[in-house]
Structure 1
Amino acid sequence: MTTSQGIPAAVSDVRAAGGTLGVAVIGTGRMGADHVRRINEVISGARVAAVVDVDADRVRSVADGVEGAVPYTDPAAAMHDPDVHAVLIASPGPAHEAALLTAFEHDLPVLCEKPLTPDPGSALRVMAAEQRLGHRRVQVGFMRRYDADYLKLKDLLSRRSYGRTLLLHHKHRNADTPPGFSNAMMIHDSLVHEVDVTRWLLDEEITAVRVFRPAPTTHAPARLSDPQLILFETAAGQIVDTELFVNCGFGYQVRCEAVCEDGTATIGDEHGVHVNAAGRWGGDITPGFVERFEAAYDRQVQRWVDATRRGETEGPSAWDGYAAAAVCEAGVAAQTTGERVEVRMIERPAFYG
């Protein structure tokens, strides 16, 4: 149910009572459990009302650590809970479409971790269902848009502080990968962040992708081409390259350099304390993405809660999730064929203008 102002009835009731937003967290793996901790201990204005996972023992264990949280193994049952006013989806990507469509049935606001869905076809179905509601309900969890350094870079590029942006250089390095990590997952699970942040920083769609696969590191699992070099072309003619190295062995690094007409701007690699001692200089390298982007995740969830309590939806939309899926689909094709592959997308609906 929705009020005449387009505000979900459950959220309107919370606002009228000056109360706290009850959130159902779907998925209690590494990311979901971290969001449970974040809502319970870090941010304000919300509480964990329900936790959902197909693993009954795990979800009970997570719920036991949060006062008032009810464990469920079925997302639909959790969304029927009257104490649930909004949903945070952190389950595996293939389960997202069903959870999103169920949330729409209840007109519940959703923060959906990337990917929106694993492929453009399912993302189009989600977009169609959201448009039938007549208002946005989905924010996609592209957390780099909430990172302090990326926000500064976005501001510089938007103001054209150094003229028009010509090139972007990305680096994305992980210490190692879990068992079963595949070449396609390098695109869908890792490169997807560069896809979104490129579109956001340049305010342009990516129109073509090419993937180069140099000699692999000896630390890469069998059949995994690592590292890879990916080139994007944009609608405005900018070229963007990404070095993707997911078994670098030494930690987690994310870097972006914008090359503009009158200067360059670089973020990344400068976090923490650097020391000079005993004839050496150096510092710490972040071990993983959760630690590197902890503040961005905090800011993202707080902004989502604040907007939801106002009856609004902001941040990356279902269109952004669809666009990322379309570019990733082209990226996997380019990875497989070694050819330049054009990105196939529908025209952007006015609903997401």
Structure 2
Amino acid sequence: MSELRVGVVGVGIMGADHAERVARQTSGARLVAVSDPDTARAEALAARLSGTAGASGAAGFGGAPGNGPVRVINDPLELIAAADVDAVILASPGFAHAEQLFACLEHGKPVLCEKPLTMDAASALQVVEAEHKVGRQLIQVGFMRRFDPEYAELKQLLDSGELGRTLLLHNVHRNQSAPPGFRSEMIVRDSMVHEVDIARWLLDAEITQITVQAPKPSSLVDDGVRDPQLAVFQLANGTMADVEVFVNFQVGYEVRCEAVAERGSATIGLGSGVFTRADGQWGGAMPADFRVRFARAYDIEVQRWVDATVRGEIDGPTAWDGYAAAAVCEAGIESLTSGRPVDVTLADKDEVLG
């Protein structure tokens, strides 16, 4: 396959960003189709990206040769089945993922699925089982932090054993603001889920118990929304992790992670760019948007997905990772409601995938 023909389902903020990335700067890929319930939005994006020139040397991967025409397919299942679509990026709402993932499996289409894999653990496990029956891995889940250079460097450091055994992981996840209707359980399922995956990845173990609690909420959030939230994870290898998630922080987008080990600690996410001292003040800029903080991670993620897909492989979080995250978040929502620790129940991986 000389060029991977990609279709994007869902062209809201994240999907449009991925469509631009494929059309403008991803080497070895071409955007051929988009689908969205908002037909006008899809048509505007398709018109803007049709015939787009590829970026020279974009993302450090040698650049893209340019994009041809992009068509709009109103039915996402029709896009998935289209003969001229080799692979799919799913950036549709989570409630639509299960049906669309089953369609990708049915048609043998590799898919990069934005989180969550599905809305609950039971349907996520069904996706894992269905993929296993196909006989090869086709699903990669969009936990892009694994591709962020800072997180990748931290993972390499911890795995090296240079600091001894890792004991604790501290996380901060703050958004400037959340969209209207972003409920308490969505903070767990759509925001905290990133820390769920990163804890499993960095600490190399499954989460066995989660406790989610909340202080008196910010006065700036809608009634009934519990924001911020504080979670504690217990992992199967005896390590622990915590995370503060605050999705209406007002200041900007901030993600930090500190690993504490036997012989030292390591911290990422302290900010980059120019640090100034002037006019009686000091500091630097904080991005307002996750796409700014993790732009490089998204670039690397999509490029590596394309490269691996052409090789017939998966190079990132798998359907099992998406299922495990869904199970932890499901237990987390229960804990937020009850105020008590909740054990995480996972299927036996060897039985499911053996």
- Higher mean C-alpha displacement, 237-246 vs 298-307: 237-246
Alignment of 1:92-103 (within 5 A): 92-103=93-104
CA distance, structure 2, for counterparts of residue 172 and residue 93 of structure 1? 21
Amino acid of the residue matched to residue 96 of structure 2?
A
Contact 1:319 1:352 in 2 (8 A): no
Does 2:158 correspond to 1:175? Answer: no
SS at match of 2:164: coil
Q: 1:21 maps to what in 2?
A: 4
Q: 2:111 maps to what in 1?
A: 110
CA distance, structure 2, for counterparts of residue 176 and residue 60 of structure 1? 29
CA distance, structure 2, for counterparts of residue 81 and residue 247 of structure 1? 41
Q: 1:334 maps to what in 2?
A: 335
Structure 1 residue 56, shift from structure 2 partner? 2.0
- Higher mean C-alpha displacement, 306-315 vs 260-269: 306-315
Q: 1:147 maps to what in 2?
A: 148
Structure 1 residue 351, shift from structure 2 partner? 7.1
Task: Name structure 2 gaps, 5 residues minimum.
Answer: 51-68
Q: 2:216 maps to what in 1?
A: 215
Post-superposition Cα deviations, 1:252-273, rounded to whole Å, max 9, x if no partner, equal: 0000000000000000122221
RMSD of aligned residue pairs (Cα, Å): 1.2
Structure 1 residue 352, shift from structure 2 partner? 5.5
Q: 2:161 maps to what in 1?
A: 160
Q: 1:48 maps to what in 2?
A: 31
Amino acid of the residue matched to residue 274 of structure 2?
V
Q: 1:256 maps to what in 2?
A: 257
Contact 1:20 1:46 in 2 (8 A): yes
Alignment of 1:164-243 (within 5 A): 164-243=165-244
CA distance, structure 2, for counterparts of residue 258 and residue 164 of structure 1? 10
Post-superposition Cα deviations, 1:126-180, rounded to whole Å, max 9, x if no partner, equal: 1111011111001100000000100000001111110000000000001111101
Structure 1 residue 312, shift from structure 2 partner? 1.4
Q: 2:44 maps to what in 1?
A: 61
Q: 2:53 maps to what in 1?
A: none
Does 2:266 correspond to 1:265? Answer: yes
SS at match of 1:88: strand
CA distance, structure 2, for counterparts of residue 61 and residue 224 of structure 1? 35
Structure 1 residue 113, shift from structure 2 partner? 0.6
Task: Name structure 1 gaps, 5 residues minimum.
Answer: 1-14
- With normalisation by structure 2, the TM-score equals 0.93
CA distance, structure 2, for counterparts of residue 336 and residue 147 of structure 1? 33
- Aligned residue-pair number: 336
Amino acid of the residue matched to residue 36 of structure 2?
D
CA distance, structure 2, for counterparts of residue 139 and residue 329 of structure 1? 21
Amino acid of the residue matched to residue 223 of structure 1?
G
Structure 1 residue 346, shift from structure 2 partner? 0.5
CA distance, structure 2, for counterparts of residue 63 and residue 351 of structure 1? 40
Contact 2:4 2:29 in 1 (8 A): yes
Q: 2:56 maps to what in 1?
A: none
- Higher mean C-alpha displacement, 64-73 vs 251-260: 64-73
Q: 2:57 maps to what in 1?
A: none
Q: 1:274 maps to what in 2?
A: 275
CA distance, structure 2, for counterparts of residue 350 and residue 35 of structure 1? 35
CA distance, structure 2, for counterparts of residue 291 and residue 78 of structure 1? 29
Contact 1:317 1:352 in 2 (8 A): no
CA distance, structure 2, for counterparts of residue 121 and residue 80 of structure 1? 25
CA distance, structure 1, for counterparts of residue 81 and residue 353 of structure 2? 28
CA distance, structure 2, for counterparts of residue 57 and residue 191 of structure 1? 32
CA gap 1:288/1:352 in 2 versus in 1, 3 angstroms? farther
Structure 1 residue 279, shift from structure 2 partner? 2.7
Q: 2:18 maps to what in 1?
A: 35
Amino acid of the residue matched to residue 326 of structure 2?
A
Contact 1:25 1:52 in 2 (8 A): yes
Q: 2:121 maps to what in 1?
A: 120
Contact 2:129 2:353 in 1 (8 A): no
CA distance, structure 2, for counterparts of residue 122 and residue 96 of structure 1? 10
Contact 2:129 2:352 in 1 (8 A): no
- Higher mean C-alpha displacement, 302-311 vs 270-279: 270-279
CA distance, structure 1, for counterparts of residue 45 and residue 251 of structure 2? 31
SS at match of 2:83: coil
Identity rate, percent: 51
Structure 1 residue 350, shift from structure 2 partner? 6.6
Structure 1 residue 51, shift from structure 2 partner? 0.4
Amino acid of the residue matched to residue 73 of structure 1?
N
CA distance, structure 2, for counterparts of residue 272 and residue 214 of structure 1? 33
Contact 1:171 1:242 in 2 (8 A): yes
CA distance, structure 2, for counterparts of residue 81 and residue 329 of structure 1? 34
CA gap 1:146/1:351 in 2 versus in 1, 3 angstroms? farther
Contact 1:24 1:51 in 2 (8 A): yes
CA distance, structure 1, for counterparts of residue 229 and residue 223 of structure 2? 15
